[in-house]
């Protein structure tokens, strides 16, 4: 059963079944890793709040992450995005820690589930749309009408813009989910090769596995970064209407 590369994505109940109004909200391994990731973030960043002029290592880590994300937001979405800093910070850290905890063997990758990434992306999409309408009123619809387009092409362009806008949550969620799932499946497949090819032929897939692990750690960081930066870009569209 463990040889199945998709087995690692199974969600199973931990502890008793919890039901509210016939809806199953039991604690699962996915919930466990969400809790672990959140706790890890809170512990690390709480240790990084020590007041000292010369920071220690954890404080330096926390402060560097803070300035990294703050710079990312101000670069992509401008100074108007300052109030959304803590949301994007939490989002980036949550996705990053879930991805990174998924890299531990026999652990569970929360972000490899489309439902999780889709809920995050849908929340961002809805939130950005609401912010856009609050800031610009109906003028936010100008987002779909780029300037400098000939009148003949305008209907087509508007349709394309609307479709691309509506597909944002799907592309955002599927990008993260597919990356995580594909990477972990590949690692599992190569791991299976190592076992089935044994001592004679197992060395090649083992090498691949090692290389893939490095690649996957990179992807784990990169996808969290991409997720956060795309959120910033969407936020930028809503805050500074350029079209």
Site residues for another protein per CB under 8 A: 1, 3-7, 9-11, 13, 23-28, 30-31, 34-35, 37-38, 41-42, 45-46, 48-51, 53, 59, 62-63, 66-67, 85-87, 89-90, 93-94, 110, 112-116, 119-120, 177, 181, 189, 192-193, 196-198, 200-201
- Token pair 């920071």 is at which residue? 55
- CA separation for the pair 151, 47 (Å, rounded): 58
Least distance to another protein, CB of residue 189, Å: 8
Toward another protein, which CB reaches closer, 65 or 143?
A: 65
- Token pair 């969290």 is at which residue? 224
Least distance to another protein, CB of residue 229, Å: 18
Distances (CA, A) of 106 to 5, 8, 93, 184, 220: 12, 8, 22, 11, 16
**Residue 107's closest CA among 26, 35, 179?**
35
Least distance to another protein, CB of residue 90, Å: 4
Q: Is residue 45 a contact partner of residue 31, using CB atoms and an 8 Å limit?
A: no
The pairs formed by 32-35 with CB atoms below 8 angstroms and a separation of 24 or more are 32/108, 33/98, 33/101, 33/102, 33/107, 33/108, 33/109, 33/110, 34/98, 34/110
Query: How many other CB atoms are found less than 10 A from the CB of residue 97?
Result: 23
Least distance to another protein, CB of residue 177, Å: 7
Toward another protein, which CB reaches closer, 11 or 226?
A: 11
Toward another protein, which CB reaches closer, 77 or 181?
A: 181
Least distance to another protein, CB of residue 180, Å: 10
- Token pair 């936020």 is at which residue? 235
Toward another protein, which CB reaches closer, 49 or 167?
A: 49
Residues 6+ apart with CB under 8 A from 232: 72, 73, 76, 77, 81, 88
Toward another protein, which CB reaches closer, 30 or 81?
A: 30
Toward another protein, which CB reaches closer, 139 or 201?
A: 201
Residues 6+ apart with CB under 8 A from 234: 124, 125, 128, 168
Least distance to another protein, CB of residue 191, Å: 11
Toward another protein, which CB reaches closer, 28 or 213?
A: 28
Least distance to another protein, CB of residue 22, Å: 10
């Amino acid at each position: 059963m463990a040889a199945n590369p998709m087995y690692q994505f199974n969600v199973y109940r931990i502890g008793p079944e919890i039901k509210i109004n016939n809806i199953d909200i039991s604690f699962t391994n996915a919930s466990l890793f969400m809790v672990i990731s959140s706790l890890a973030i809170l512990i690390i960043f709480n240790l990084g709040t020590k007041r000292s002029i010369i920071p220690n290592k954890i404080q330096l880590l926390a402060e560097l992450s803070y300035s990294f994300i703050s710079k990312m937001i101000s670069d992509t979405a401008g100074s108007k995005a300052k109030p959304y800093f803590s949301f994007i910070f939490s989002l980036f850290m949550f996705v990053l820690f879930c991805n990174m905890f998924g890299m531990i063997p026999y652990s569970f990758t929360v972000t490899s589930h489309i439902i999780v990434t889709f809920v995050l992306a849908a929340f961002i999409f809805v939130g950005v749309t609401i912010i856009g309408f609050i800031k610009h009123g109906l003028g936010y619809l100008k987002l779909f009408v780029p300037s400098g387009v000939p009148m003949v092409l305008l209907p087509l362009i508007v349709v394309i813009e609307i479709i691309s806008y509506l597909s944002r949550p799907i592309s955002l969620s599927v990008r993260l989910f597919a990356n995580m799932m594909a990477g972990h499946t590949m690692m599992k497949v190569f791991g299976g090769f190592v076992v089935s090819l044994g001592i004679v032929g197992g060395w090649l897939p083992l090498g691949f596995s090692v290389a893939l692990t490095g690649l996957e750690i990179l992807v784990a960081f990169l996808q969290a970064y991409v997720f956060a930066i795309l959120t910033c870009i969407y936020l930028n569209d809503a805050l500074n209407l350029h079209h």
